[in-house]
Each structure stands twice: as structure tokens, then as C-alpha cells.
Amino acid sequence: MSASERTPIDRALANEMLAAAIAEARAGRTTGGIPIGAALFTREGTLLGRGHNRRVQDDDPSTHAETAAFKDAGRRRDYPDCIMVSTLSPCWYCCGLIRQFGIGAVIVGEARNFVGAHEWVADLGVEVIELDDPECIELLGAFIAEHPEVWHEDIGL
């Protein structure tokens, strides 16, 4: 099925999916890390994997929330019917993942604290939904205010 033939993702379902990513972001905050969470779902809403940024907890710069969720989902043959849900606009690294593996859709919790490359993948045909969620904005915004140096390190700025 091509992207244009798919039923658009329902907003209520998108918010339900975002709740899983927010729970991950909260878990990241609780363990002293950067509060960004993500989850990978099927378009029908089945959870495949979830995770959060692990830079602080594991001294691991490679584990962004999206790559953690992708890893947690394990091996798959392909991803066109998958949705990557993140509390934050995915950066170039994570959008590169989305492009390389052909993930069909992205749900963006917020793009106020940081604008990554979600418009780039949208231009490539990925279905992108921005939710502008207040809790996503508050969680990361508070962390950035408290630990700007960790945030800038994480995002390469």
C-alpha cells in the first residue's frame, strides 16, 4: 500500500501513542537523564518498542530516544507500516534512521524546544503529525533550563 492510499492516523490514537513516549521521557527524568522518550508502533496501535535518551545514565551518546525504541523493537524486515512517536522533533541522526529504514510515519510531541529534521522526512513522503503537547514542552524545557550544557552536548550545538 502506498503512503497516499493509507488512512491518515487518527488524532486520538496519536495522543494515545504519545502517552507511551511521555512515560519514557518521565522515566528518563526520574533517572537523572535528558527527558526525551519515544516508542515504535504499528499503524494499528500495537506497541513494538520503547525507550528514552541514555546519554547521562549510561554515558552513551548514541542512544537517543528514537534509536532506543527502534532497538527495543528488535529485528524487522521492514517498517513502512510503523510509526515512530517521539516527545521531541527528531534530530538529523534519528531522521536519518527513519529515512534509511523507511519508517512510514512520525508523531512529534513538540518542536518548540528544538526543531530537528521532521520537515525533511515529511518532504520525502513520511506522514508527520505535530501534536504541540504541553507536557512534552515542559519536561524538556525544564531540563534545558537546569542543564543547558548537557542538552547542547546531546544535540551537537
Write out the residues near a second copy by the rule CB under 8 A.
55, 59-63, 67-68, 70-71, 73-79, 91-97, 99-102, 117, 153, 155-156
- Residue of 86, 82, 74, 130 whose CA lies nearest to 104: 82
- Residue of 55, 50, 14, 60 whose CA lies nearest to 143: 55
Residue 33 is placed in which grid cell?
537523564
Q: Is the Cβ of residue 13 or residue 150 nearer to a second copy in the bound state?
A: 150
Cα three-residue angle 78-52-137, rounded to 5 degrees: 110
Q: Is the Cβ of residue 14 or residue 88 nearer to a second copy in the bound state?
A: 88
Q: Is the Cβ of residue 124 or residue 142 nearer to a second copy in the bound state?
A: 124
Nearest-approach distance from CB 149 to a second copy, in angstroms: 8
Residue 108 is placed in which grid cell?
512529534
- Mapping DSSP to helix (H, G, I), strand (E, B) and coil, where does residue 89 land? coil
Q: Catalytic residue numbers?
A: 66
Nearest-approach distance from CB 99 to a second copy, in angstroms: 4
Nearest-approach distance from CB 103 to a second copy, in angstroms: 9
